[in-house]
Amino acid sequence: MSKIALIIKREYTTRVMKPSFIILTFLTPVLIAGMIMVPLLLAQIKDNTEKKIVVIDQTGLYQNVFADNESFKFEFIDQSIESFRTSKDKESYDAVLFIPQDLSLNPKAATLFSEEQVGLELKSYVSGLLKDYIEERKLAELNIPDFKELVEKTKVSIDVKTVRWGKDGEEKMGSAELAVIIGMISAFVIYIFIVVYGAQVMSGVVQEKTSRIVEVIISSVKPFQLMMGKIIGIAMVGLTQFALWVILSVVLVTALTTAFGTTLDIEAYQQAQTMGVSAVNLPFDDQDGVVSELLIALQNFDFVQTGVLFVLFFLGGYLLYASLFAAVGSAVDNETDTQQFSLPLTLPIVFAIYAAIYSAENPDGPLAFWCSMIPFTSPIVMMVRLPFGVPAWQLALSLGILILSFIGSTWVAGKIYRTGILMYGKKITWKEMMKWVFYKG
Amino acid sequence: MKLLEVKNVVKQFSGHRALDGVSLDIPENTVYGLLGPNGAGKTTLIRIINCITAPDSGEVFLNGKRLTAEDVRHIGYLPEERGLYKKMKVGEQALYLAQLKGMTKQEALMALKYWFEKFEIQSWWNKKIEELSKGMAQKVQFITTILHKPKLLIFDEPFSGFDPVNADLLKREILALKDGGATIIFSTHNMSSVEELCDNISLIDKSKIVLQGNVDEIRAAHATGTYRVVTKTNLHAESFDVQSEKETHHGFEYVLKSRAGESNNVLLGSLMTQSELFSFEEVLPTMNDIFIETVTTKPKQS
């Protein structure tokens, strides 16, 4: 086995076998699946205990307003609030709705009494019923024939569909929301991977230097081999973790959805949508078709292209930063000194994530364009732009710049590393580091 | 034949000069000791020989050719601050280092098995380095240093951290390596090991070599004319001074100091006229004495 392969293997296996890696890798998809599933499941669980509400209506105007539903049952009694408050009857009710006055004159007159704090659901249900009823009555008082129907007709809900035209004019149902979601998620994943694994490269280098392992190893391998072995090995750890996350998340979400019967039948939604039928049995409220549109857009989304570009940009960005992190690690004497020198590296990464957030709002604007060309920000910003569609020449240019930059940065880092890794007890400055780059040898 | 030659090496660090015109020749298949007080520049010299640091001026030759980074691959180096991955298991780590040095997995496993059995540390194979004590980790590192049978071995303070039993084991192994044809350079403060192991030494003090040469010759040159003599009857001092006198059940034991560079035979002759001799032995100074004497007196002269 070649020496660099040996180094890669060691870097890879020691990290992948770590309990912390295994736990994090297997727990994260569970958390992601949980975050997706819990709201869906909670939405399905209905509070099946029926609450009884007694209405004391002193005006006698609202007898027909309160319709019972699954959760609430209304009863009217003719009793004063004072006597009810002290009577034994109140034990058998969950809440008391007291209406002393005509609400069209005093909209704040109604009160809900209860022993336990009334839930928001009851409050909004009751106020909704009263509001609708009073609005209707006020309209009726205007005495305009068919006014209610006229008003109904003016109520509209607008949702602009976004459709992307392919090169051949073929329509693709797109979704700006989906594009933002996917873009931001992949940008954040790249950001986190660069920061986490870049830091691992750096601390690995510092560790080898401080423990003097490098003095032994350097007699067998070239410094550049040692550096690249570490960088590549850790990149493979990152890719392994990412691949496992994707696979596990998909498996878990599928397993959970089937187990709880909320199969999201995308085919059915799509059919319904194209046929203009909205009456599909959705497990949740989807009057305007927002969810089904998202799902269709999700299905139309080109995951293969995004996936491939994600890996390319991740590797490019990681190699660029990791080599510089390695250079910093080699130049310092201990872990605490790394902070001072790694700051200029972490700043552009943090800047990139802000640029990505603003680019999502205007994915073809100048900020988005330039930041997706500058190699220090492009891996993150390009991820946000990608789902909106990026011209091929821009992708090629951005990737080209990124590749050239990481070749340059590994070259520079290799020079710094070669000198720095064996240098002890000398205060390092940026000037000194630049000198190392141009050493002959 | 000279295996390694260091010529006039100078190394300047900010603030002080670590090595100042150091030259030494190391013959093949010998044990060479680098002695000197703390901070004398021993480790710097070793690091220069290992191409870890470059000298400001001066050169190092291996087999008559200028030493390159490529040659360092054939040197086994045990650094003073032991370098092993703390979180890695002993066996895995030894195997990894051996493979990096160009051994195949099979060769490495065979050699490791041999050495682990020899040092009786088979049970450590699956332990992590951080679970081992300093001396234990050092044993492991010693094995990884010599495993690929390099022709030139450099040990920086190999005895520090070892108990007497293990230090003895290490001494035996160093001599065995020499018998196997290796050339060994080591730095130490442990002077008794120098007498036992070293053929030649260099004593470095304040970045300069203050004493250099064959151990026996150095000791002979530092001879103070002191003798241990056991005689049948009393001696009376004539051409020598009596430093101590002791009567034992089989005679008189003296420590004598001869006057003004008399040869052994002259002294012996004058002793024989006085009494029957049971034993006569020249007392050579220990390396320890020479070390202390050289290091403490030299600065006064300069």
Q: Are B146 and B177 in contact (CB under 8 A)?
A: yes
Beta strand pairing status for B75-78 and B226-231? unpaired
Contacts of B145 in chain A (CB under 8 A): 216
Q: Any idea what the CATH number is for the domain that residue B9 is in?
A: 3.40.50.300
Residues B97, A216: C-beta atoms closer than 8 Å: yes
**DSSP summary character for residue A279:** -
| Single-letter amino acid code for the residue at B131 | E
Please give the residue range of the domain that contains residue B262.
224-283
Q: Are B215 and B228 in a shared domain?
A: no
Q: State yes or no: ipTM above 0.85.
A: no
pLDDT of residue A263: 47
Residues A215, B14: C-beta atoms closer than 8 Å: no
In a domain, B300, yes or no: no
> What is the average pLDDT across B77-104?
88
Query: For residue B25, what are the CA distances in angstroms to B34, B56, B201?
Result: 12, 19, 10
Beta strand pairing status for B226-231 and B240-248? unpaired
User: Of A104, A121, A153, which marks where a domain is finished?
Assistant: A153
Q: Are B228 and B276 in a shared domain?
A: yes
Query: CA A53 to CA A201: how far, in whole Å?
Result: 64
The secondary structure element, H or E, covering residue A285 is: none
The answer to whether B79 contacts chain A (CB < 8 Å) is yes
Nearest neighbour of B72 by CB, restricted to A211, A212, A219: A219
Q: Are A255 and A355 in a shared domain?
A: yes
- State the angle between helix axes of A303-331 and A223-259 in degrees (0 to 180), rounded to the nearest 10: 140
pLDDT at B7 over 50: yes
Contacts of A211 in chain B (CB under 8 A): 81, 83-86
Q: Are B191 and B249 in a shared domain?
A: no
Q: Are B241 and B212 in a shared domain?
A: no
Q: Are A267 and A210 in a shared domain?
A: yes
Q: Are A136 and A189 in a shared domain?
A: no
Residues A422, B14: C-beta atoms closer than 8 Å: no
Q: Are A319 and A216 in a shared domain?
A: yes
Query: CA A417 to CA A328: how far, in whole Å?
Result: 8
In a domain, B294, yes or no: no
Scanning every residue of chain B, which has its alpha carbon at the shortest distance from the alpha carbon of A216? B77
Q: Are A78 and A223 in a shared domain?
A: no
Q: Are A157 and A288 in contact (CB under 8 A)?
A: yes
Domain count of the fold of chain A: 2
Q: Are A221 and A347 in contact (CB under 8 A)?
A: no
Q: Are B246 and B212 in a shared domain?
A: no
Taking phi over 0 as left and psi of -120 to 50 as alpha, with beta for the rest, B29 belongs to left
> Looking at CA atoms only, how far is residue A419 from chain B in angstroms?
9
Contacts of B132 in chain A (CB under 8 A): none
Residues B83, A422: C-beta atoms closer than 8 Å: no
> Looking at CA atoms only, how far is residue A437 from chain B in angstroms?
16
pLDDT of residue B195: 85
Instruction: Give per-residue pLDDT as tens, B236-268.
Output: 777 778 888 888 887 888 888 877 667 778 788
Q: Are B170 and B158 in contact (CB under 8 A)?
A: yes
Residues B84, A6: C-beta atoms closer than 8 Å: no
Scanning every residue of chain A, which has its alpha carbon at the shortest distance from the alpha carbon of B86? A211
Contacts of A216 in chain B (CB under 8 A): 77, 79, 83, 97, 141, 144-145
| DSSP bridge pairs for B227 | B256, B282
In this predicted model, which residue has the larger pLDDT, B51 or B112? B112
Mutate to test the interface with B, among A11, A213, A225 (most CBs of B within 10 A): A213
DSSP B230-295: EESS----SSEEEEEEEEETTEEEEEEEESTT--HHHHHHHHHHHS-EEEEEEEPPPHHHHHHHHH
Q: Are B91 and B171 in a shared domain?
A: yes
Mutate to test the interface with A, among B14, B52, B78, B142 (most CBs of A within 10 A): B52
Q: Are B234 and B182 in a shared domain?
A: no
Scanning every residue of chain A, which has its alpha carbon at the shortest distance from the alpha carbon of B15? A426
Q: Are A259 and A120 in a shared domain?
A: no
Nearest neighbour of A6 by CB, restricted to B53, B84, B96: B96
Q: Are A183 and A384 in contact (CB under 8 A)?
A: yes
Residues B83, A214: C-beta atoms closer than 8 Å: yes
Residues A215, B86: C-beta atoms closer than 8 Å: no
Q: Are A386 and A277 in a shared domain?
A: yes
Residues A422, B53: C-beta atoms closer than 8 Å: yes
> Looking at CA atoms only, how far is residue B278 from chain A in angstroms?
55
Residues B83, A211: C-beta atoms closer than 8 Å: yes
Scanning every residue of chain B, which has its alpha carbon at the shortest distance from the alpha carbon of A423? B53
CA within 13 Å, CB half, A391: 6
Would you state the torsion angle of the CA atoms of residues A359, A364, A366, A372, taken in this order, to the nearest 10 degrees?
70
Q: Are B154 and B236 in a shared domain?
A: no
CA within 13 Å, CB half, B59: 8
In a domain, B59, yes or no: yes
In a domain, A72, yes or no: yes
Domain count of the fold of chain B: 2
In this predicted model, which residue has the larger pLDDT, B154 or B241? B154
Residue recorded with tokens 């006039």:
B8
pLDDT tens, residue order, chain A (441 aa): 688 999 999 999 999 988 888 898 888 878 877 777 777 777 666 656 777 888 888 887 787 788 787 778 888 888 788 888 877 777 778 888 888 888 888 888 888 888 777 777 788 888 888 888 888 888 888 777 777 777 777 877 777 766 666 666 666 556 677 778 888 888 998 999 999 999 999 999 998 888 888 888 888 888 899 999 999 999 999 999 988 888 887 887 777 777 665 545 555 555 555 554 444 444 444 445 556 666 666 666 677 788 888 889 999 999 999 999 999 898 888 778 888 888 888 899 999 999 988 888 888 888 889 998 999 999 999 988 888 888 889 999 999 999 999 999 999 998 888 888 887 766 777 777 777 777 755
In a domain, A216, yes or no: yes
Which two structure tokens, joined as six digits, stand for B165?
Answer: 């039993």
Q: Are A29 and A58 in a shared domain?
A: no
Residues A219, B73: C-beta atoms closer than 8 Å: yes
> Looking at CA atoms only, how far is residue B105 from chain A in angstroms?
9
Question: Where in B48-199 does DSSP place strands (E)?
Answer: 57-62, 65-66, 75-78, 152-156, 183-188
> Looking at CA atoms only, how far is residue A333 from chain B in angstroms?
14
End-to-end CA distance of chain B: 34
Residues A216, B72: C-beta atoms closer than 8 Å: no
The answer to whether B134 contacts chain A (CB < 8 Å) is no
In a domain, B71, yes or no: yes
Q: Is the dihedral of CA B125, B129, B134, B138 positive or negative?
A: positive
- Residues of A within an 8 Å Cβ radius of B: 1, 3, 6-7, 10, 14, 208, 211-221, 422, 426
> Looking at CA atoms only, how far is residue A213 from chain B in angstroms?
4
Mutate to test the interface with B, among A219, A418, A427, A428 (most CBs of B within 10 A): A219
Which two structure tokens, joined as six digits, stand for B251?
Answer: 């005679």
- State the angle between helix axes of B105-118 and B90-100 in degrees (0 to 180), rounded to the nearest 10: 130
Residues B83, A14: C-beta atoms closer than 8 Å: no
Q: Are B74 and B201 in a shared domain?
A: yes
Q: Are A377 and A247 in a shared domain?
A: yes
In a domain, A38, yes or no: no
Query: CA A222 to CA B7: how far, in whole Å?
Result: 26
Contacts of A1 in chain B (CB under 8 A): 99, 105
Q: Are B216 and B235 in a shared domain?
A: no
B183 alpha carbon, distance to own chain's centre: 12
Q: Are A380 and A245 in a shared domain?
A: yes
Q: Are B76 and B157 in a shared domain?
A: yes
In a domain, A293, yes or no: yes
Residues 82-111 of B with CB under 8 A from A: 82-88, 96-97, 99-102, 105
Residue recorded with tokens 């297997």:
A26
**DSSP summary character for residue A89:** G
Q: Which of B180, B179, B174, B218 is nearest to B196 (CA)?
A: B174
Beta strand pairing status for B2-13 and B57-62? antiparallel
In a domain, B292, yes or no: no
Residue recorded with tokens 């009751």:
A126
Mutate to test the interface with B, among A8, A214, A216 (most CBs of B within 10 A): A216
CA within 13 Å, CB half, A370: 5
Q: Are A242 and A94 in a shared domain?
A: no
Alpha helices (H) in A142-289, listed in sequence order: 147-154, 176-210, 213-217, 223-259, 266-275
Nearest neighbour of B86 by CB, restricted to A1, A211, A219: A211
Mutate to test the interface with A, among B14, B89, B100 (most CBs of A within 10 A): B100
Q: Are A140 and A286 in a shared domain?
A: no
In a domain, A168, yes or no: no
In a domain, B214, yes or no: yes
Q: Are B270 and B210 in a shared domain?
A: no
Buried b (16+ CB within 10 A) or exposed e, A46-58: eeeeebebbbbbe
In a domain, B296, yes or no: no
Please give the residue range of the domain that contains residue A372.
3-33+175-437
pLDDT of residue B302: 41
In a domain, B150, yes or no: yes
Scanning every residue of chain A, which has its alpha carbon at the shortest distance from the alpha carbon of B51? A219
Query: CA A270 to CA B121: how far, in whole Å?
Result: 68
